[in-house]
Amino acid sequence: MTHARPAAAILSALLVATTLSVAPARSAENDDPIRLTLHDWTGQLITTRIMGEVLQKAGYNIEYVQADYIAQFAGLKTGDLHVAMEIWETTGRDALDEATATGKVENLGDSGMLAVEEWWYPSYMKELCPGLPNWEALKSDACAEAFATAETSPKGRYLGAPVTWGGYDDERVEALELPFEVVHAGTDAALFAELESAYQRKAPVLLWVYAPHWAPRKYQGEWVEFPKYEKACYEDPAWGSNPDMAYDCGKPRGPIWKVAWSGVKDKWPGAHKAISAFSVDNDEMGGMITEVDLDGKSVEDVVAGWMERNTDRWSGWIK
């Protein structure tokens, strides 16, 4: 992961304490708060709040902490942070591997969701860029111009995610010699507001879209098919079409992982068991994200509805 921040700024760079919720202790091993990290996309807020609510039902003291997606690993290693509910195979694998190799961070298994994060375009753009979804279509000047804006012309414009998400898009453009300029959205909301606007106007747009999410459910479109990811692509410049540069392939795909400070299993063994048992699938999560982002419901209300509908399920996690 290229955008990780220095570990020296653990608390000042990545910790902002937010909501503190306390439930009457029933089965918790101690009263110390379990700190769950919150990030900047809707699905992660939902999974974290669900886990927090379930742990509260078991009597645990829960604290939610706003944290940078990659920089949070510094706090997980030291035990300043305790649980991160979504580390995506697509963008977080490098940081996860480094952290777990220290023995200070533990992978608690997959969340039940499978991640896709890749360049995406609306179906109406295929007429303007023949050859899609094959990535090589993007190498033509005509396709670049089809995706260009006044600011990037004659280069095409690719709207990437917030820089803190990682993903190596700038490196990918350079390694694959694509005539595109990467422009990073400031927030998750800005990213999809631009998609909404472009799609309604049938305007050119090429951007980072991920699943589980409402966007690929609502809009007709496709992900660009880059050379299939292999670990060597990110590590060995000799791999792939560009013998001198890494990242000449697409992003990896795979599970969304749950991770924790390695001390959780000893300090809160019941919580450790519950977090390990947590599981939701893509369709379920996509529906909840839709309720928040498109239907205007609050995360808290959507989580409360899920808790009410799934009592038997989450009760099994904390038995």
The 10s digit of each residue's pLDDT in 284-319 is 999 999 999 999 999 999 999 999 999 999 999 998
pLDDT score recorded for residue 26: 53
What CATH number belongs to 7-114+256-317?
Answer: 3.40.190.10
> Average of pLDDT values for 227-256?
95
Number of H helices, E strands in the chain: 14, 10
Q: What is the pLDDT of residues 94-131, one digit of tens each?
A: 899 999 999 999 999 999 999 999 999 999 999 999 99
CA distance 294 to 247: 34
**Pair of tokens at residue 23:** 């439930």
pLDDT score recorded for residue 158: 98
pLDDT score recorded for residue 28: 87
> Average of pLDDT values for 178-207?
96
Q: How far is CA 133 from CA 47, 96, 126, in A?
A: 32, 30, 8
> Average of pLDDT values for 249-272?
97
**Pair of tokens at residue 169:** 């898009």
Q: What is the pLDDT of residues 30-49, one digit of tens each?
A: 999 999 999 989 999 999 99
Q: How far is CA 266 from CA 29, 153, 207, 245, in A?
A: 10, 57, 43, 44
User: Is residue 1 very low, low, confident or very high in pLDDT (cuts 50, 70, 90)?
Assistant: very low
CA distance 67 to 15: 5
Query: How many CA atoms does the CB half-sphere of 186 hold within 13 Å?
Result: 2
**Domain boundaries in the chain?**
7-114+256-317, 116-235
pLDDT score recorded for residue 19: 39
Same fold, 7-114+256-317 and 116-235: yes
Q: What are phi and psi of 79, to 5 degrees?
A: 85, 5
CA distance 156 to 178: 9
pTM: 0.80
Weakest mean pLDDT among 7-16, 60-69, 87-96, 201-210? 7-16
CA 53 to chain centre: 21
CA distance 199 to 206: 11
Asked whether the CA dihedral 247, 115, 44, 97 is positive or negative, the reply is: negative
CA distance 259 to 80: 14
Contacts of 73 (CB under 8 A, 6+ apart): 4, 95, 96, 98, 99, 105
Q: Does domain 116-235 have CATH number 3.40.50.1100?
A: no
> Average of pLDDT values for 2-12?
37
% of the chain residues with pLDDT over 90: 87
Average pLDDT, the chain: 91
* Residue 121 · residue 224 · CB < 8 Å: yes
